[in-house]
Amino acid sequence: MEYNYFDKFRIWEYPIYFLCLGYTYLELSNPILASLAQVIPKVPNSAFTVIICYFIVPRFIKEIKFPLDIFKVSLPFLIIAFINIPFITAEQTSSIQQLTATIFYMIFFVPQVVKLLSIKTGRDHFVLFNTIGTLIICVQFYISINMNIFFKTETIEFSRNHLVSSVALVFPLLVGYSFLLRGYKKILSILSFLFILLAAVPSGSRTLWIILPLELILLYLFVLPKKTVFVWVISAFFPFLIIFSIFGRSDFYSESALYNFQFRIRKLVELADPELRDGTVIKRYGMIRKTQLILDEHPFLGVGYSNRSFASFDAGSAYFGNRLIKLGRIDAHNTYLNLIGGTGLLGLAGFLYFLLKIFRYVKLISKKSIKKIDCGAILVSSLGALILLNTTTAPFHLLALYVGIAYSIFLMQYNQFLYNINNKRVYND
């Protein structure tokens, strides 16, 4: 298979589109930035940049063929969420606002990004701006843990979850691109990778400690050229070891940051001991019980398409072993449980319909495409983000975007196949 035709598209030849879409990526990864930069209250600037991109999208992207329209297969879920609005008893306004945003992004943003990610320079653009967004978040977090300066607005407070979500998405991309790039670009990607680790590892996120090694293993097994992995490990981590041998940990982290890291390590060890196990982990399991209670009362439509609607449902308390855990009025911290509790069994059916339709094509991605480093890395990034959604709450359009990232690689194959047929080339895959 040849990819030369797709490689002819250069996104930077369309500067307004390039910058507007890049800014949208930044806002989606950094809610604090989005809130502080708002021109119109309660309306993110990305709403305008998405509209601009939709109407000035390059002709090349418009002509990319969709064997499956992502918006159309999402309609069953969206319709069920819309039907539920009159029956919502708590946080109805929040559900309306979130559903409006989801429909907006599903029409104007997600299908367009999926098309763009099927093109090499579209993937490069995605990596560039998401890396910039992640570096900004890492700086925010590094300042907050070392100087106790916390970034917040009237409605949003910066938390570890913002860091975890962004790092899990970008980490495999930077690792992959550090193999792909040459010269100063390779150095910049490795430096960005090291700085992200410098901020992310001490964050104490148990989820991140699990996902990052998993992403590395997947990259090693299915994507990266194994002959050069050892060289990459030396080039990436040897400078890291030299720096820490010259400087002590106290030169990089404050006492409070180191204490927080040690505290999180203890919490990780304590997971194996029921007597020492911290309540936050049990509450995660408790959200499964809360979802069951929601379905007992609202089996078909749930409590409303909003994490606030889920949180407002008072599930009381429940025993886990000999410990009584309060379940009432707590966010699910799990996108999938939030979706089930928010839209009920009908919403779950709509969601499964969406997934099955997409994965019908994702499973056709060839091994050759996976071995193409930028494609394989973005597939691992998509999988890492979908796993992460088990520990954080995100709206349906972000979930659809992460699934769509994988679909975009099939889209690349599909359109290249059409190009080969039209130009009477032999299709070798």
d(CA 401, CA 111): 8
Q: Which of 130, 112, 218 is nearest to 169 (CA)?
A: 130
- Output the pLDDT for position 273: 54
Average pLDDT over residues 22-40: 82
* pLDDT at site 428: 47
8-state DSSP, 390 = T
Q: Binning pLDDT at 50, 70 and 90, where does residue 20 land?
A: very high
Residue with tokens 């600037």: 45
pLDDT of 396 higher than 90: yes
pLDDT at 244 > cutoff 70? no
pLDDT for position 1: 37
C-alpha span between 119 and 412 (Å, rounded): 7
On the question of pLDDT at 228 being above 60, the answer is yes
Q: What percent of the chain has pLDDT over 90?
A: 43
Helical axes 160-180 vs 15-29, angle rounded to 10°: 130
Q: Which residues contact 249 (CB under 8 A, 6 or more apart)?
A: 258
Q: What is the pLDDT of residue 230?
A: 75
Could you tell me which residue, 164 or 278, shows the higher pLDDT?
A: 164
Q: How much is the average pLDDT of 126-137? A: 91
pLDDT for 306 beyond 80: yes
The span from the first CA to the last CA of the chain, in angstroms, equals 6
The helix (run of H) or strand (run of E) holding residue 317 is strand 317-320
Greater confidence, 271 or 28? 28
Name the β-bridge partners of 317.
326
Amino acid at 247: F
Instruction: Identify which has the larger pLDDT, 429 or 141.
Output: 141
Residue 261 has pLDDT above 70, yes or no: no
Mean local confidence (pLDDT), 111-132: 94
Instruction: Name the 3-class secondary structure at 323.
Output: strand
Inter-axis angle of helices 373-388 and 206-222, nearest 10: 150
How far is it, in rounded angstroms, from Cα 132 to Cα 31? 14
- Per-residue pLDDT at 248 exceeds 70: no
What is the rounded average pLDDT of the residues 26-40? 79
Contact 198, 252 (CB under 8 A): yes
> Dihedral (C-alpha) 209, 210, 213, 218: value to the nearest 10 degrees?
-150
pLDDT at residue 425 in the model: 56
Q: Whole-angstrom Cα distance, residue 228 to residue 214?
A: 19
Tell me the residue type at 379: L
Q: What is the mean pLDDT of residues 90-96?
A: 89
3-state secondary structure of 155: coil
For position 102, what pLDDT does the model report? 95
Q: 274 pLDDT band (50/70/90 cuts)?
A: low
Contact between 208 and 167 under an 8 Å Cβ cutoff? The reply is: yes
Kindly tell me the sign of the dihedral angle through the C-alpha atoms of 30, 32, 37, 43. Answer: positive
Q: Averaging pLDDT over each range in 146-160, 163-177, 193-207, which range is the top one?
A: 163-177
Q: Taken in order 25, 68, 306, 392, is the CA torsion positive or negative?
A: negative
CA distances from 73 to 27, 141, 337 (A): 26, 38, 21
Kind and range of the H or E element at 326?
A: strand 323-326
pLDDT digits (tens, 9 = 90+) for 318-372: 776 667 777 777 788 899 999 999 999 999 999 999 999 999 999 999 999 999 9
**pLDDT given for residue 427 in this prediction:** 46
Residue 43: exposed, middle, or buried by beta-carbon count in 10 A (0-12, 13-18, 19+)? exposed
Helices 255-270 & 206-222, crossing angle to 10 degrees?
80
Q: Per residue in 51-79, pLDDT tens?
A: 999 999 998 898 888 899 999 999 999 99
Dihedral sign, CA of 206, 211, 214, 216?
negative
Q: What is the C-alpha to C-alpha distance for residues 78 and 69, in angstroms, rounded to an integer?
A: 14
